[in-house]
Structure 1
Amino acid sequence: MPAPLLVLTDFTPAADAALRYAAALAAVLHVPLVLLHVNRNSVFDPETFTGKIPHRSEGEIAVALNERVQNMPVPVIPALTAGRSTRAIREVVEQHRPALLILGRPSVAELPDELVSTTSLDLLAELQYPLLIVPAGTAPQVPQRIALAADGNPFQLAAPARAVPEVLGTLRAAVTVVHVAEPEDDDSCRPSLVSVQQAGLLTDGQNPVSTHGTRHLDVPRGIEQAMQATRAELLVLIARRHNVLGRLFHRSVTAQMIRQAQLPVLVLPTTG
């Protein structure tokens, strides 16, 4: 069976939006979905901040899962586990080996955005799987234009992320490699394009590829400008674990894009 997409749900509107978006992707990719609920609290552990844990019986959870798998355009495997979120999720991930983990991002009114980025980064650090964060209200449509931000430094995808080139190739979306430079620096995208190609992130000939350089003192704002200029519908970020030279993707910039981007953000872990 092809690698599924694993969607995390806490039965909130944001999680439901992520599920619909995932279903649209899965239909094009011809893969099933795994819909996972962690029976302890919501995926975002709100009790850390409020002390409130939403309690549901197993019957209520079964009903909620069943409601969400009905009338899906692809097969959906419901999954339920219990315990600390990242530990419990790891067990299901190791069982299904998904191509992507998909997570809904609530609005700021529903949840502090710092918690969203903390949870996302914790999942990336502990599981090393590519993570797609879908903002609440995102329409369930397959992206036709993708912005792939890269800083020009070499990188190697973590093993679980090596299925992503095939995913991007199957989508056949137009990809723009984006580079943000200091105002006084050269905004040439050639090194960024080379680093992406050498990492094998874009399969030959399957995606139309272009480049877009921009100058800005603030890297996240520069990325946002590039996204607007290229009319991107999905942002891809490279998440480096231990590379102080990769200023574009150090932890705070990645977290800021996860919190602020109005588009779905696909974060790819690397080995260094």
Structure 2
Amino acid sequence: MSAPLLVLTDFTPAADDALQYAAALAAQLQMPLVLLHVNRDSIFDPETFTGRVPHRTEGEIAVALDERLRHLTVPTIPAMTAGRSTAAILEVVEQHRPALVVLGKPNVEDLPDELVTTTSLDLLRATQYPLLVVPMGTLPQRPQSIVIAADGAQFRLAAPAAAVAPLLQALQAHLTVVHVAEPEDDDSCMGALSMVRQSGLLGNLAENAVHTRGARNLDVAKGIEHAAQAVHADLLVLIARRHNILGRLFHRSITAHFIRHSRLPVLALPTAG
């Protein structure tokens, strides 16, 4: 069996939207799903921040998983584990070695960033597997236009993240490499495109199959957002550099910003160093 998409669920609307989105991807990519619930706390529920976490028995969890499996048209394995959320998830990740880890994002815009300590950011610190964060309300359809944000610096993808390359090709979407420069600098994307190609992320795609778009903006996040809007992107791919993930600056990194605030699904690809 091919590597699955591992979908995390806490049975909230955000998690259900992520499951439907993952099912649409799995159907296009001809991949199975693993649907995982951690019996401790809500993976991405805003109630996590208040300490009010719903408690469910194993029987109630089994019923909730079965309800969701009944509506899926792709092969799906239910999974349940217990323990601290991140540690428990990592054990299942090592067991299944998924192509992607997928989870939903509720609307937390009303909460200050300092209070939003989410499972997605914890997972990026702890694992090298690619992480797909799906905002609540995202339509369950395969992406048609994918933006890959690159800063022009060399990078090497972690082995699990490098395996995403054939998936991006199989989606048959419009691919655009975006580079954001300061207003006084050259916004040419040639250097960024070269680094993305060297990483292997574009696989054997022909040159004319990958487009570029430069942007000038003092705020890198805003530059990426504007470029994504211009090409009608419906999936954003970010390079999650390890020094940002592990260091104190991660809380102010571009990856963290988009995971918290993006209205588009965000695919974060950890680097090897």
- How does the TM-score come out when normalised to structure 1? 0.93
Counterpart in the other structure of 2:224: 223
Contact 2:180 2:217 in 1 (8 A): yes
2:167 alignment partner AA: V
Letter in 2 for 1:79: A
State whether structure 2 residue 73 is matched by structure 1 residue 77. Answer: no
Distance 1:85 1:50 in 2: 16
Could you tell me which residue of structure 1 aligns to residue 263 of structure 2? 262
Aligned-residue offset at 1:252? 2.3
Change (3 A) 1:137 1:112: farther
Residue 61 (str. 1) matches residue 65 (str. 2): no
The amino acid that maps onto 2:59 is G
Structure 1 partner of 2:14:
14
Matched with 2:213 is: 212
How far does residue 111 in structure 1 lie from its aligned partner after superposition?
A: 6.8
2:52 aligns to what SS in structure 1?
Answer: coil
Alignment of 1:141-180 (within 5 A): 141-180=141-180
CA contact (8 A) 2:22 2:140 kept: yes
Q: Distance in 2 between matches of 1:115 and 1:79?
A: 29
Classify 1:114/1:72 alpha carbon distance in 2 versus 1 (closer, same or farther; 3 Å).
farther
Within 1, Cα distance between the matches of 2:115 and 2:27?
Answer: 31
Q: Pick closer, same or farther for the CA change 1:120–1:192 going to 2, 3 Å.
A: same
Asked whether the equivalents of residues 149 and 223 of structure 1 are also in contact (C-alpha less than 8 Å), the reply is yes
Counterpart contact for 2:4–2:34, Cα < 8 Å: yes
Task: Classify the secondary structure of the residue corresponding to 2:237.
Answer: strand
Q: Give, in whole Å, the separation in 2 of the partners of 1:43 and 1:151.
A: 31
Structure 2: stretches of 5+ with no match in the other structure = none
% same residue: 69
CA distance in 1, matches of 2:251, 2:209: 28
Q: Which moved more, 1:70-79 or 1:3-12?
A: 70-79
Does 2:101 align with 1:101? Answer: yes
Please provide the CA RMSD for this pair. Answer: 2.1
Kept after mapping to 1: 8 A contact 2:49/2:115: no
1:160 Cα deviation after fit: 1.3
1:2 is paired with a residue whose SS is: coil
Unaligned residue ranges in structure 1 (runs of 5+) = none
- Compared CA separation, residues 117 and 134, structure 1 to 2 (3 A): farther
Q: More displaced, 62-71 or 47-56? A: 47-56
Q: Distance in 2 between matches of 1:222 and 1:147?
A: 12
Distance in 2 between residues matched to 1:117 and 1:219, nearest whole Å: 22
Provide the C-alpha distance between the structure 2 equivalents of 1:218 and 1:251, rounded to a whole number of angstroms: 12
* Mapped partners of 1:54, 1:111: distance in 2: 20
Given that 2:104 and 2:134 are in contact with CA atoms closer than 8 Å, whether structure 1 keeps it comes out as yes
Counterpart residue identity of residue 156, structure 1: R
For 1:11 and 1:110, the matched residues in 2 are separated by 22
Distance 2:35 2:175 in 1: 28
CA distance in 2 between counterparts of 1:157 and 1:178 reads: 18
2:200 & 2:117 partners in 1: Cα distance?
27
- Name the residue aligned to 1:233: 234
Q: State the shift of 1:116 in Å.
A: 5.2
Q: Distance in 2 between matches of 1:33 and 1:113?
A: 31
C-alpha distance after superposition, 1:216-248 (max 9, x if no partner): 01111011000011110100000101279xxxx
Match of 2:37 in 1: 37
Q: Distance in 2 between matches of 1:47 and 1:260?
A: 18
**Residue 199 of structure 1 corresponds to which residue in structure 2?**
199
Partner of 2:183: 183
Q: What TM-score do the two structures reach when normalised by structure 2?
A: 0.92
- What are the within-5 Å matches in structure 2 for residues 127-146 of structure 1? 127-146=127-146
CA contact under 8 A between 2:42 and 2:48: conserved in structure 1?
no
Deviation readout 1:43-71 (Å, 9 max, x if unpaired): 14767632222100111000000000113
Deviation, 1:143, is 0.4
CA distance change for structure 1 residues 115 and 136 in 2, over 3 Å: closer, same or farther?
A: farther
- Partner amino acid, structure 2, of 1:182: E
Q: Distance in 2 between matches of 1:117 and 1:211?
A: 33
Question: Contact between 1:180 and 1:187, CA under 8 Å: does it hold in 2?
Answer: yes
The one-letter amino acid paired with 1:18 is A
Residue 88 (str. 1) matches residue 66 (str. 2): no
